[in-house]
Structure 1
Amino acid sequence: MSTPQIVLSDPVHLRAEIRAGRFDGPTAGQGGDALQANLVILGADDAIDFLRFCQMNPRPCPLLAVGEAGDPGLPLLGRGIDLRHDVPRYRVWRDGELDEEPTDIAGLWRSDMVSFALGCSFSFEDALCSAGIPVRHQQAGRNVPMYRTSIATRPAGRFSGPLVVSMRPMSAAAAIEAVRICDRFALAHGAPVHLGDPAQIGITDIMRPDYGDVPVVAPGDIPVFWACGVTPQAAIAAARPALAITHAPGHMLVTDIPSARADRILMGPGDLAK
């Protein structure tokens, strides 16, 4: 069980608190406007197929950075990042089965491990809040609700599985504005993939999410669904690699990159100093 967390707006300070074991909760609303990232770590034998899976499914798996084999750093995303320590909670998968959820993976690190950082929808929540759109799981201090859908991803090698989505309930007017805002965040899953009736994408009950916490739904809200970076975890369960490490749903790597500038920095010329 995660302990209550204060809001830390500086990503460097937040990662230091995580590394020191003083922060272990969901990162929604943390790090200010910093780009947040999903994490997948695989052995080199599985890395090529997973890279192809990301390329085939860019909406749920927007690729931010790929690490060098054996290197726990991702210097493109932040100075001093160490993936063995800087995520509040991890998931360890053995032969496709969830084995444990540690807060540090230094003891599991191997010289052949390749790290993948993927965009996260938490990165646009600061923009939603700035536009006056309530992000109800943040307001309630909860993790975002996430669901497996009936929509299939495009397979690549051993990796395949259902699209996973995150959901944020809001008014219809707010949903229209959210589409406009989130379309600018291509590296954070972009615009929603579905609005309204959950049954149309295979979700039978939004009050029973597959991951995260039960949603807070206000009168008049409609459910709005975004592609989610937990999608690779469903693919890992299907591919059954001997060892895989991911973030725990909602517990992200918080980078040094401002979300509003992420496309320019990561998809074209530029660096953190510009």
Structure 2
Amino acid sequence: MAIFSITKAGADRGTKITTGADVRVAARINNFNSPTSGLAPTFLQANLVVLPSRYASDFRLLCARNPVPCPLIAESTSTGCWNSVTSTIPGLNGGAILSDCDLRRDVPRYMVYKDSTPIKKGCLDIVDEWTDDHVAFLIGCSFSFESALTAAGLPPRHTTLNRNVPIYRTSIPLCPAGAFTGSTYVVSMRSYKASEVERVREITRAYTATHGEPIAWGWDAVKRLGIEDIDAPTWGESPLTQDERPLGDVEGEEHDVPVFWGCGVTPMEAVARSSLEGVVMTHDPGCMLLLDCRDSDIVPAACVA
């Protein structure tokens, strides 16, 4: 089996990794812990949420009621199963989405909650925490449309600067479902020129399995979403301008405006704000599960250019 040397350096990430399976092997064998944005271009990435089985039906309902921030793409084939998934994407079976996997070890970094309280962050596997009663859910990730943006000459800045995407907690309420109440949308942000926003919306619109088009954009959107400081994301790294200054330095200017998408950290936030009993596991924000299917598998070819 190939051994990969993964660091945050773009050269290593670009030359050593080419497929989703490569990333999973590297995480499983080498325990690399870098964010996954830009790895294995065109291969889909997914957020991971692992719950006790008694919460599974409520979580499915949460996703159904909030499809933009929580687009469900697959789940464990059966309770306790960590090596195969059942697809919710029409035309794709579970094996096409993910094969030769170990959901306990194939994510670069995990988080562990007990009774809705975080008890571990950045751990390299969840083998000890996984039980025969757990069910894993895969939620679409906006990293999956970044290849299309890059191909169109609109690469997200965090990918070109080797940074993690900025992610913000908002004040927009999430539609509740069963045990999951009182939570809000979480959004990821990529900045663009105001003149580029319509093209960005057009490119990402078809990616409904990975959050689709932006939910808000422009400097006025920061206040509407309840974000207090654009330079202080809740997760990820602070955003930079084209000349690598804090984005807030150019507030109000049209050559660099924030654009916000629904984010798969939303269900993690729902877990943290709910009174769930037992052990819940998720990916660490920015460190995704790489899949075997590609963006062209979920979007018509004419829309991927």
TM-score by length of 1: 0.92
CA shift digits 1:128-157 (9 cap, x unpaired): 000001311111111100001111010001
Distance in 1 (CA, whole Å) between partners of 2:168 and 2:185 is: 9
- Please say if residues 167 and 233 of structure 2, whose CA atoms lie closer than 8 Å, have aligned partners that are also in contact: yes
Question: Would the aligned equivalents of 2:146 and 2:155 in 1 still touch at CA under 8 Å?
Answer: no
Residue 107 of structure 1 aligns to a residue in which SS? coil
What is the deviation of 1:79? 1.4
Encode CA deviations 1:92-143: one digit per residue, 9 max, x unaligned.
0111111112111111110010010010000000000000013111111111
Secondary structure of 1:20's partner?
Answer: helix
**1:240 aligns to what?**
275
Aligned pair partner of 2:233 in 205, 209, 212: 209
Q: Deviation at 1:237?
A: 1.0
1: CA distance, partners of 2:241 / 2:29: 35
What is the aligned length?
263
- 1:113 to 2:130 alignment: no
Counterparts of 1:249-264 in structure 2, within 5 Å, are 249-262=285-298
* 1:88 matched to 2:108: yes
Contact 1:73 1:83 in 2 (8 A): yes
Q: Partner of 1:87: helix, strand, or coil?
A: coil
Q: SS of the residue aligned with 2:128?
A: helix
Equivalence for 1:183: 205
CA distance, structure 1, for counterparts of residue 30 and residue 275 of structure 2: 30
2:263 is matched with 228
RMSD: 1.4
Q: Show the counterpart of 1:271.
A: none
What secondary structure, in the 3-state scheme, does the structure 2 residue paired with 1:37 have? strand
Q: Paired residue for 1:122? A: 143
**What is the CA–CA distance in structure 2 between the aligned matches of 1:51 and 1:21, rounded to whole Å?**
33
5+ unaligned residues in a row in structure 1: which ranges?
265-274
Q: Which moved more, 1:58-67 or 1:170-179?
A: 170-179
Matches within 5 A, 1:1-274: 3-5=7-9, 6-7=12-13, 8-67=17-76, 68-75=78-85, 76=94, 77-101=97-121, 102-160=123-181, 161-196=183-218, 197=220, 198-218=222-242, 220-241=255-276, 242-262=278-298
Residue 213 of structure 1: CA displacement? 0.6
Greater CA radius of gyration, 1 or 2?
2
1:115 counterpart SS class: strand
**CA drift at 1:61:** 0.6
Consecutive unaligned residues of structure 2, counting only runs of 5 or more, are 1-5, 86-93, 243-249, 301-305
CA distance in 2, matches of 1:138, 1:74: 30
Q: Normalised by the size of structure 2, how large is the TM-score?
A: 0.83
Please say if residues 165 and 227 of structure 1, whose CA atoms lie closer than 8 Å, have aligned partners that are also in contact.
yes
How far off is 1:64 after superposition? Answer: 0.5
Q: Which amino acid in 2 is paired with 1:256? A: D
Question: Could you tell me the percent identity over the aligned residues?
Answer: 41
Aligned amino acid, residue 208 of structure 1: A
